Structure 1
Amino acid sequence: MIFHLRRSAYALLLTLSLHVGFATLARSETTATAESSKPNIVFMMADDLGPGWVDFDGSSPEINTPNLERLARNGMVFSKAYAAATVCSPTRAACITGMSPAQIGLTTHIPGIAGRERPAPKGGPKDAETLNHLPLDLPSYARELKQLGYTTGFLGKWHLAGDGSIKTNDGVVNSDWHPVHYGFDTNIGGCAYGQPKSWFDPYKNGTIEDRKKGEYLTDRLGDEAVSFIKTNQDTPFHLSLWFYSVHTPIKAPRDLVKKNGGNAYLAMLESMDNAIGKVLDTLEATGTLKNTLIVFYSDNGGDKPTKWLADKKGSLLEGGVRVPMAVAWPGAIQPGTSCDTPVTSMDFFPTFVHAAGGSTSDIEQLEGSDLMPLFQGKNKLDRDALYWHYPHNRPDVRYYMGSSILQDGWKLYVSHGVKEDALFNLNADPMERENVLKSNPELADRLRAKLTNWLTKVNAKMPPPLEN
């Protein structure tokens, strides 16, 4: 399928009265609207960070992320935020386009080498076909924002620009697939890399100019974010700050590792949090904080498991797709609030565009929902289910090579490989220990029918038939 961006007129500008910073927000302002300026939009995304590894979601006391706690305290925490995929590239594509990975046709991470990375288990099918880059003719929230008068910047991990980056010296496979061709005015760090070739300058990244030997990549991205905000503070701006942290290899500056008792992973978290602190401080110092929508999110479940969720990155269980998420927007979101309505990657596209005063009414392939009702304190969106499609082998986790649907706390997993189908009641069994499919056949059939209809609608690619 080939899609084209529409060129229609946009709806009248929807803006909110944003008069004060985080520290002085009044309850009466949380639902106020006014005809002021377009909000700036800052979208920060971690890599491979599951719930339980940041301060705002009940993490262990040794975790040091005070700036994320600061963001959450002054906004809304989403306790049931999901990634559109169990791994990074498809989730990133879903965020940019507002389309599910299944509809895009990009359903697993783009490999570091050409071909499939994990062989099929005995008796199981090979992986379904998947794209090796984000098609240029799909919608992009950056393009939409740019048309609405925004200056747009991308910093960090892109991982949507072709395979074979591991064989390059600089992560550049095809520069035509870099962020600047999807509506971003600037790009620092975004190439085909799924992880840094070097965490320290020289970075060996063709989209980052080396400047100081030994400088840490996360620190550099924080500095670039500060520069972007200062440079563009007088006009509406959007910044996608997509950290490479906390992806492997696990490395951090020696002083932070020492501070964290020799734990490099915790040091990486603290470094990312420090960069986020730079962003928040700069927004406040420039006076732009009062008119900025800020999102923190992750691209998939953690490579390090979450204690209260089953499995990890790569799995269709909760540990593979649940992520930490906090959103702050002075004057629009009441500080210190939380939301347990399920949200997903595709929702950012309509949320950003509508917040900027644009319209998505004639983007037919859009699958996301505007999160504004949740920001305003409502507890429901206009959809009844979330869907996943991961037709790939990942034998290091329990549930892979399948599709799933989540509706009203019930999650059905349908296998395309050697696993058995499964039904879980997440309200009673959040760790997904008990398969209750056989005791709930009618419910399972209803969910299966909805899942099948969705897979057909988005023309989801399936694994090839087994060879005789």
Structure 2
Amino acid sequence: MAAHLFTAAAFCFLLADYSHAAGGAACGPPNIVFIMADDLGPGWVDLDGSNPTINTPNLERLARSGMVFNRAYAAASVCSPTRAACITGMSPARLHLTTHIPGVAGRRHRPPKGGRVDAESINHLPQELPSYARELSDLGYATAFMGKWHLAGEGSAQSANGIVDSRHHPEHFGFDVNLAGCALGQPKSWFSPYRNGALSNGIVGEYLTDRLGTEAAEFIRSEHESPFHLTLWFYSVHTPIKAPKELVAKNHGDAYLAMIESMDSAVGQVLTALESVGVLENTLVVFYSDNGGDVPTAWLAEKKGSLLEGGLRVPMVASWPLVISPGAQSEEPVSSMDFFPTFVHAAGGTPTNPERLEGASLLPLFKGAGSLDRDALFWHYPHNRGGVAYDMGSAVISDGWKFYQGYGLTKDALFNLSTDPLERTNLMAEAPARAERMRALLNQWLATSDARMPPPAE
């Protein structure tokens, strides 16, 4: 075990000021479980039991035991950049990975007439970048990745089994175990045989989400005697929308709701496994999504691919019973880059290259702080998505306002999110001084990030 791993006594001291910490509860480095859905908007989970249409009782249980983040954001409006930001703690702009890695080699979104072509974006996650899994491994954690990776090269749709270049798979980023993580952005099959080169087939007809839940529970039971970390990134609820027939029937023929219920059941397998081996109290469990929903959330503008709130806002819950007060709520904006420092600090470590990280540790919020010491969150999506408003641009949120800077045919915009959560009223003309301050803040960030820009329109 690494020499700089915190001792149990040190962790007891660290947690001593948490007033609700259970007396006599086992102290020591927490286990860390990071669960992520794919394309799930915040309107499609029921965290308080108020929506009988959506069957997510295990996520509701997680919310009751921990903290719901009401202003959680993804680092990008599409999947690959957010996943890269989570792993590295670096923004998509700085990574130069700003759009989803295409499943069909060479595919690019065509600009509308008079618009600009996409900026360049890399097609895999380079090994030399930071990884929270490496840091946790160095701290003595057993580590596992299960599910959708989508950071390992383009052209997966043309491959036989989703393997494009295995050098870019999770096992090269600090994960001891990799199940199902390859170049695929969506399953070749939701049912076994899976045609996934990083996952063995189960019995014919086995459902992928069920399989991932079972494998996650087995990993927990096998590794619970020492600190472990599990990254469990479901392929659900990405298209194609398919679920077991009996679950679709239970959800009145709605396959989308059935997929959500299946994912929730897999979360339940994780919680049951943690409870059965006696480590639930000292396990940090995070549930999150990689971008806004492909199926929109009714109370947000737009969906996946847009820099409006519906493309960026995601559901998020964090539970750590030994530390986080049950039933807590946070209104602080948080983003994907925050997970790297959070996990490493929770494990008792210090990131090896903190100057490369762009997120903030969420531990103060877990402890009860109302805010973090930062002024803004930023996004850069210099790409034509098509089918949504407010793509091809960059954005900044600060003090409850959002400024959008367009690079295509969409004009710049300023929204007051506090009074206009659906972003219906562009206030550029009404608040020009604020718009220019936010533009300057955004462009300074883009410059320091060495962000790649789309070439000028021809």
Instruction: State the TM-score bracket (shorter-chain normalisation).
Output: over 0.9
Contact map agreement 1:15 1:355 (CA 8 A) in 2 = no
How far has the Cα of 1:465 moved from its partner?
1.8
Distance in 1, Cα, partners of 2:309 & 2:154: 28
CA change 1:188–1:362 in 2 (3 A) is closer
> Are 2:139 and 1:143 aligned?
no
| Residue equivalent to 1:205 | 196
Q: Secondary structure at the match of 1:52?
A: helix
> Are 2:24 and 1:15 aligned?
no
Q: Secondary structure at the match of 2:275?
A: helix
| Residue equivalent to 2:413 | 422
How far has the Cα of 1:382 moved from its partner?
1.3
Q: Secondary structure at the match of 2:284?
A: strand
Contact map agreement 2:395 2:404 (CA 8 A) in 1 = yes
How far has the Cα of 1:16 moved from its partner?
5.1
> Are 2:43 and 1:41 aligned?
no
Contact map agreement 2:6 2:28 (CA 8 A) in 1 = no
> Are 2:231 and 1:235 aligned?
no
> Are 2:342 and 1:351 aligned?
yes
The size of the alignment, in residue pairs, is 453
| Residue equivalent to 1:333 | 324
> Are 2:209 and 1:221 aligned?
no
> Are 2:434 and 1:443 aligned?
yes
| Residue equivalent to 1:122 | 113
Contact map agreement 1:52 1:58 (CA 8 A) in 2 = no
1:251 to 212, 222, 242: 242
The percentage of aligned residue pairs carrying the same residue is 64
Distance in 2, Cα, partners of 1:363 & 1:28: 30
| Residue equivalent to 1:373 | 364
5 Å-filtered alignment, 1:315-326, equals: 315-326=306-317
2:402 to 406, 411, 434: 411
Distance in 1, Cα, partners of 2:277 & 2:232: 18
TM-score of the superposition, structure 2-length normalised?
A: 0.96
Task: Please list every run of 5 or more consecutive structure 2 residues that lacks an aligned counterpart in the other structure.
Answer: none
Q: Secondary structure at the match of 1:45?
A: strand
The letter of the residue matching 1:421 is D
| Residue equivalent to 2:284 | 293
Q: Secondary structure at the match of 2:355?
A: coil
Q: 1:191-238 CA deviation, whole Å, 9 max, x = no partner? A: 000000000000000011112110000000000001100110111000
Distance in 2, Cα, partners of 1:137 & 1:353: 18
Task: Please list every run of 5 or more consecutive structure 1 residues that lacks an aligned counterpart in the other structure.
Answer: 1-7, 20-26
CA change 1:241–1:259 in 2 (3 A) is same
How far has the Cα of 1:466 moved from its partner?
1.9
Contact map agreement 2:135 2:352 (CA 8 A) in 1 = no
Deviates most, 48-57 or 229-238: 48-57
5 Å-filtered alignment, 1:265-304, equals: 265-304=256-295
RMSD: 2.0
CA change 1:119–1:292 in 2 (3 A) is same
How far has the Cα of 1:36 moved from its partner?
3.0
CA change 1:31–1:419 in 2 (3 A) is farther
Contact map agreement 2:338 2:362 (CA 8 A) in 1 = yes
CA change 1:59–1:34 in 2 (3 A) is closer
Contact map agreement 2:102 2:155 (CA 8 A) in 1 = yes
Contact map agreement 2:38 2:289 (CA 8 A) in 1 = yes
| Residue equivalent to 2:176 | 185
Contact map agreement 2:209 2:263 (CA 8 A) in 1 = yes
How far has the Cα of 1:93 moved from its partner?
0.2
How far has the Cα of 1:12 moved from its partner?
5.5
TM-score of the superposition, structure 1-length normalised?
A: 0.94
Deviates most, 362-371 or 50-59: 50-59
Contact map agreement 1:17 1:36 (CA 8 A) in 2 = no
The letter of the residue matching 2:34 is F
How far has the Cα of 1:290 moved from its partner?
1.5
> Are 2:94 and 1:103 aligned?
yes
Deviates most, 242-251 or 115-124: 115-124
The letter of the residue matching 1:89 is S
> Are 2:104 and 1:113 aligned?
yes
Contact map agreement 2:385 2:392 (CA 8 A) in 1 = yes
> Are 2:75 and 1:79 aligned?
no
The letter of the residue matching 1:266 is L
Distance in 2, Cα, partners of 1:403 & 1:30: 42
